[in-house]
Amino acid sequence: MSHPNSKPSAATVPSTTDKSELGGGRFVPIGIKFAFLSVLVVGIATAIAFFQATERERERMIEAKRIAASMVADLLAQSLQAPLDFADEDAARNELNHLQQNKEVVYAGVWPLEGKAPMVEMRAPGTTFVAPSDLGPARTVASSDRVEAVRIVLGRNQKPIGTAIIEFSLARENAELAVTRRNILVYCLALALGTMGLLILATRYQIVGPIQKLLVAARRIEKGEPGTRVEARANDEIGRLARAFNAMNAAIFDREHRLAAANHSLRELFDHMRQGIVVFGSDGKVEGLHSRAAGAIFGNDMLEGREARDLLYGEAGHWDAERQAFEEWLPLGFEAPTEAWEELSALAPQRIALHAGSERERDVTLEFRPIVHQGKVTKIMLLATDETDRRRLEREMERQGARHKSQIAVMRRLVSGGGQQFVAFLEHARRRFERGSELLVQSGQSLSSTSLGELFRIIHTVRGEAQSFELTELAELLSGLEARLAELRAQDHRDGAIPLASARSDLEAGIASAIVFVEQSTELFVEASPSGRAALDNVLVRKGDITRLVELCAGRSDDMALAVARLASRPFGDCVASLLEQASAWAEKEHKRVRVEVDGREARVPPGLADVLGGVLTHLVRNAIAHGIEPTDERARLGKSPIGSIELVCRSLDDSSTVLFVDDDGRGIADNDVLTRAANARLPLQNLAGRGGSTRLEVSDLAGYGVGLPAVEADLASVGYAVSVAQRAGGGTRFEIRPQPQSAS
């Protein structure tokens, strides 16, 4: 929120060329308007003066010509009295010949009283004359290029005896008139330009200039610049306007200073309050100041003018029920009597979830209070309190409690199933992590490729088993360690040594956290077990006793040794119990469906093999789902059942050895990426030579990083077993686990 004394920013000050300021049209300066008006008025006046002057000059010249023509025509009519009275054609011609001395006479003719043709006529070269149909009465008429004078010739008894016609050319007058018109036009234009220039200069100095100064001063006030004044020299309307502007400017800054002081005091009060405070009027828009906490809660420091419903339900559409309820409640808050406010405020929203921009969701409690003036609610104050941290702490405590209950439920389920497999997992995980820590300590500043591979297999194996026991947090932690190891493995190391650098601290911290988690899981298992800590050593019989018996019978082949071997062995069904529960969930993540069947649940698994069998079968089943079983739509196109089949088979060879099969009805070896990677790792898998396959490494929750089968081989080799792979008759893949052949001594 901006400080009340701060100047408006460029984003908040309206542009001086904004259409709202210019009336929605193009801005045209008043000087241009006045100049255009001056040109128009002076131009019209000049044109009128020009045409009137030229017309009067023409009329004057024609009138002089007409008078002269009338005088000549009158003299001619008198001189023709005798020739016409005596019909003396020669005398009449002599009279006309006298007119030839006048170069402006272009025609002269004498007609007898009843004649159809002139008795005598005289024409200037190139002159055309059309005799009028009616010769009388006497007249003098002017046209555009000549003046025609018609006179009646009277005889001795004062009776008409004929008609005389004379035409004078106006060529000389028209030429003079053209020169006169040009001179008048030049004079008029000069007068018009001078007049317009004087008007424009006077207007700019007396009107446009002062107005421009007022405009500049107004813009400076708009930007908040103090001390802005306009000089008022003239004592006219413009001067009075300038003085009024200065007085208004002083009053504005004085009021702003007083308002700034009041706002500062109010701002200090608001900003020291923990609650977000906004006030909105009957139109539902925020008015005046708001607290700093309100800007933080609603994610905007400029709240004035915002709709209250948009602040509370900005991301909800108009169809949202809570938004509609608030919109219906808001007008009631201003219409209801003040004594009913408490009852009405209970209907207002009490808590909302806000998303302030891209920030996390805020849990906000609301309280509405009325601002009353003259017995009516004129404004409503909203008090918003951010309860996000407190609510998050409460939810975290609830989540931790639910997590603890969930873990206890898992442990109790494991205990009810015997728990041997889980206890074995905890012990093996603890030893594996200790081995991992030992590898890091022995490696120093760099890690060999062999140590990296072993560390990779340790982490990958424990992660798979952790998922089978629903230890998701441990599995996620180990997944991160696998990704870190994959980054190290991807580096180019020509000398076979991989620098640990910053990865050491990450790996050590991750393994330490995993060990802590294993210890916590051990304590939870003890807590969930009815027999307490004894459950770690005694499920059906004491594990320590069994282990001791096995040690005592080592190297023996008598009945006692066989009995101890049977006692130490575990049912195959117990070894795969948790695996059966997880297979369907793994398949769903790959958008597949599988059915896992177990054959030989009662078969006894030797103790050494039973200890590693959980991780081994986890790898093989997960690989079958990820790489063998096809997606549902693909199986439908191939004519297979949409549900893939995985069969786990256990057969006892004798009291001390077992053979196991993991069969699937998937795509087989030829297109199985994981088997190709196993071949690249030089696993002793049968029937793999000559097979193609992609070496593409797909990293997913099931696919891993290509270390699953090497881990299987290593775990089985440690207890004297080996794994091989073959194509199943009718399609699919079979993994076979058998005791390694004894080498000849």
CA dist 453 and 451 (Å) reads: 5
- Picking from 395, 411, 330, the residue whose alpha carbon sits closest to that of residue 363 is 395
Structural Rg of the chain based on CA atoms: 59
| Degrees, nearest 5: CA angle 292-338-320 | 60
Phi-psi region of 741 (alpha: psi -120 to 50; beta: other; left: phi over 0): beta
Give the type of residue at 423. Answer: V
Q: Which residues contact 677 (CB under 8 A, 6 or more apart)?
A: 695, 697, 706, 709
What SS3 state is found at 122? strand
- Name the token pair of 45: 């006046």
pLDDT at 341: 82
CA dist 281 and 259 (Å) reads: 20
CA dist 262 and 114 (Å) reads: 115
Q: How far is CA 728 from CA 632, 661, 676, 731, in A?
A: 21, 11, 17, 5
Q: Running along the chain, 745 residues long, what does each successive block of 10 average in pLDDT?
A: 41 43 61 78 86 86 86 86 82 83 85 80 78 74 85 83 86 85 86 83 78 78 74 73 78 79 67 73 79 75 79 75 83 82 82 65 82 83 79 71 61 58 83 87 81 86 83 87 84 68 82 89 73 57 65 68 71 78 85 89 82 88 88 89 91 80 84 53 44 43 69 88 85 89 59
* Residue 513 · residue 473 · CB < 8 Å: no
pLDDT at 663: 92
CA dist 369 and 280 (Å) reads: 11
CA dist 194 and 206 (Å) reads: 18
Q: Where are the alpha helices (DSSP H) in 592-707?
A: 607-623, 632-637, 673-680
Q: How far is CA 560 from CA 554, 563, 602, 652, 696, in A?
A: 11, 5, 22, 19, 52
Phi-psi region of 419 (alpha: psi -120 to 50; beta: other; left: phi over 0): left
Q: Which residue in the block uniquely carries the two structure tokens 């992609």?
A: 694
* CA end-to-end distance (rounded Å), the chain: 89
Q: Which residues contact 514 (CB under 8 A, 6 or more apart)?
A: 429, 433, 462, 474, 477, 478, 481
CA dist 54 and 182 (Å) reads: 9
CA dist 658 and 604 (Å) reads: 8
What SS3 state is found at 496? coil
% helix / strand / coil in the chain, to the nearest 5? 55, 15, 30
CA dist 514 and 462 (Å) reads: 10
Strand pairing of 351-355 and 361-373?
Answer: antiparallel
pLDDT at 196: 80
Global pTM value:
0.40
pLDDT at 8: 42
